[in-house]
Amino acid sequence: MKNILHHLIQLQELDFALAEQKAADPQAPLKQLAEAITQLRDQLPEAVLGRYQRLQQKNSLAVVPLANGACSQCRMAVPPGIINAVRAEEELQTCGHCGRFLYYQEGLPRQAKKAGHDHRPPQAGLARFSSAKLMIPKLQAKTREEAVGELAQLLASQGFVEEPGRVVELALRREAMVSTAVENGLAFPHVRNVEGGGLTFAVGLKEKGIDFGTPDGRLSKIIFFIVIPAPASAFYLRLLAGLVRTFSETDARKDLLECDTPEAMWKTLSKLTRQTIP
């Protein structure tokens, strides 16, 4: 049963990676990723796969971790006996409220606060997810690992995530599956299923570019590092599509890369995304 649960988790990650790639570039070649998804589906019992697909059609997330004794998606408390069974991984367990498959994840990353919620009036646009304090106009990093680490440390220093080392580990694990780099020098490393807080991102610029492992070897110059609570997974895809659409324009990329202060970056980013991320 442990193998079936791990297959479900991996299948969901690949399904989500496929959705990300489609949101970022509908024309991207996705044959290899689609084949990997098909192989995983073929390894699951028919009844389990059927339930997974029905849940996914309704909720986008079908397999979710426990968080403080509750389902991380619907937030309903899970009985202690079910919690123990989830941890034992001897049988598949589901949330009695929303029906999702449950799993236990050691060291679930946590957020301490939400962007745009520091006693200010309700925010619109990007101000809901970031701020000038989360901009780095000149990344010191020279590698993908260093870039993710630098941006995670910034989020931690501003109180948005706890245990940045764990956040980096999970983000790089996701990168190893399929690169989050897309066309036009953009990359979107991220961590999902973050506990607490809200969808938050930091941005770093690197004029010389950083290798994020794209098949064509192109370098990424604008890097968004995003932490995503389970309830925000679907919205993340809309944010991703809006950012990709914004920076499909050469002038937009040029304007952002020319910024030399966090304040200038934030002002430019907010202006550029006014229509794409209302």
Q: Which residue has the tokens 């907010």?
A: 270
Whole-number Å distance between alpha carbons of 235 and 242: 11
- Give the model's pLDDT for residue 121: 45
- Per cent of the chain over pLDDT 90 is 65
Over 80: is that where the pLDDT of 213 sits? yes
129 and 232, same domain (yes or no): yes
10 and 81, same domain (yes or no): yes
**Which amino acid is present at 143?**
T
179 and 257, same domain (yes or no): yes
* Residue 141 is assigned to a structural domain of this protein: yes
* Residue 218 is assigned to a structural domain of this protein: yes
Whole-number Å distance between alpha carbons of 224 and 233: 16
Rounded to the nearest integer, the mean pLDDT of the chain is: 89
* Residue 116 is assigned to a structural domain of this protein: no
Q: Which of residues 73, 103, 133 is at a domain's end?
A: 103
- Give the model's pLDDT for residue 181: 93
Task: Supply the range of the domain harboring residue 38.
Answer: 2-103
Q: Radius of gyration over alpha carbons of the chain, in Å?
A: 19
Q: From the CB of residue 270, how many other CB atoms can be counted at a distance below 10 Å?
A: 17
43 and 173, same domain (yes or no): no
Whole-number Å distance between alpha carbons of 105 and 191: 13
138 and 257, same domain (yes or no): yes
Which one is predicted more confidently, 85 or 216? 85
Over 80: is that where the pLDDT of 1 sits? no
Which one is predicted more confidently, 205 or 215? 205
What Å distances lie between residue 62 and 51, 98, 230, 241, 275, CA to CA?
A: 9, 10, 11, 22, 32
DSSP letters for 253-275: HHHHHT--SHHHHHHHHHHHTTT
Three-state DSSP state, 190: strand
* Residue 117 is assigned to a structural domain of this protein: no
* Residue 255 is assigned to a structural domain of this protein: yes
User: 177, 190 in Cβ contact below 8 A?
Assistant: no
Task: Give the torsion sign (CA, 26, 31, 37, 42).
Answer: positive
Over 50: is that where the pLDDT of 122 sits? no
Over 70: is that where the pLDDT of 110 sits? no
**Which amino acid is present at 117?**
H
Supply the CATH number for residue 156's domain: 3.40.930.10
Whole-number Å distance between alpha carbons of 74 and 102: 12
Pairing of strands 70-71, 63-67: antiparallel
Over 60: is that where the pLDDT of 119 sits? no
Q: Which of residues 103, 134, 166 is at a domain's end?
A: 103
Q: Which of residues 41, 71, 103 is at a domain's end?
A: 103
Question: What are 221-245's pLDDT values in tens digits?
Answer: 999 999 998 778 778 888 999 999 9
Confidence (pTM): 0.84
58 and 166, same domain (yes or no): no
Query: What is the rounded (10 degree) CA torsion for 269, 273, 277, 278?
Result: 100
Over 60: is that where the pLDDT of 128 sits? yes
Residue 114 banded pLDDT, cuts 50, 70, 90: low
143 and 88, same domain (yes or no): no
Residue 105 banded pLDDT, cuts 50, 70, 90: confident
Which one is predicted more confidently, 110 or 80? 80
Supply the CATH number for residue 26's domain: 1.10.287.1490
In terms of C-beta density within 10 A (0-12 exposed, 13-18 middle, 19 or more buried), how is residue 155 classed? buried
What is the number of alpha carbons within 13 Å of residue 133 lying toward its C-beta? 15
Structure tokens given for 70: 């509750």
> What's the structural domain count of the chain?
2
20 and 147, same domain (yes or no): no
Whole-number Å distance between alpha carbons of 33 and 105: 25
- Give the model's pLDDT for residue 115: 60
